Amino acid sequence: MAKEYSRTERVGDMLQRELASLIQTEMRDPRVAMVNITGAQVSRDLSHARVFFTVLDADTAESAKPTTEVLNKASGFLRAQIAKDSTMRTVPSLRFVFDESVGRGRHLEGLIRRAKEADQAMLGANSEPGEE
């Protein structure tokens, strides 16, 4: 039996799409130019939403702090724009959180690449000439 697609998930997906569009088209602050909305978690009562984002040149929450502050200050404006365009009775209050998973993924990818290169270097050093 297929898993039910809950209302909170549908609202989260809608928020993700709408916020990505609004940030790119309506916000003129250069600090949010390279923002990508990666997800939205909505509370069960649909009153609060944590919106996860990444920034192209930031891998840590500390480096993305100015962008986080700008987005959280603009959350009222973004919420009002979504309320205008949607048929929802109430739009959840928005809180923006930097998504560190992309930075962690890049870090792990670098570790794997270095381990692979070390393994190849070790294999190359252990093999005798003409054996390959």
pLDDT in tens, 38-67: 999 999 999 999 999 999 888 788 888 999
Contacts with 48 (C-beta within 8 Å, 6 or more apart), sequence order: 42, 92, 93, 95
How do the domains of the chain map onto residue ranges? Answer: 7-99, 101-132
What is the rounded CA–CA span in Å between residue 60 and residue 26? 26
| Residue 85 φ then ψ, to 5° | -90, -15
- 93-98 and 35-42 strand pairing: unpaired
Helices and strands in the chain, H and E counts: 4, 3
Q: Does 37 score more than 90 pLDDT?
A: yes
Instruction: Quickly name the fold that domain 7-99 has.
Output: GMP Synthetase; Chain A, domain 3 (3.30.300)
pTM of the predicted model, to two decimals?
Answer: 0.77
Q: Does 127 score more than 80 pLDDT?
A: no
Q: Does 1 score more than 70 pLDDT?
A: no
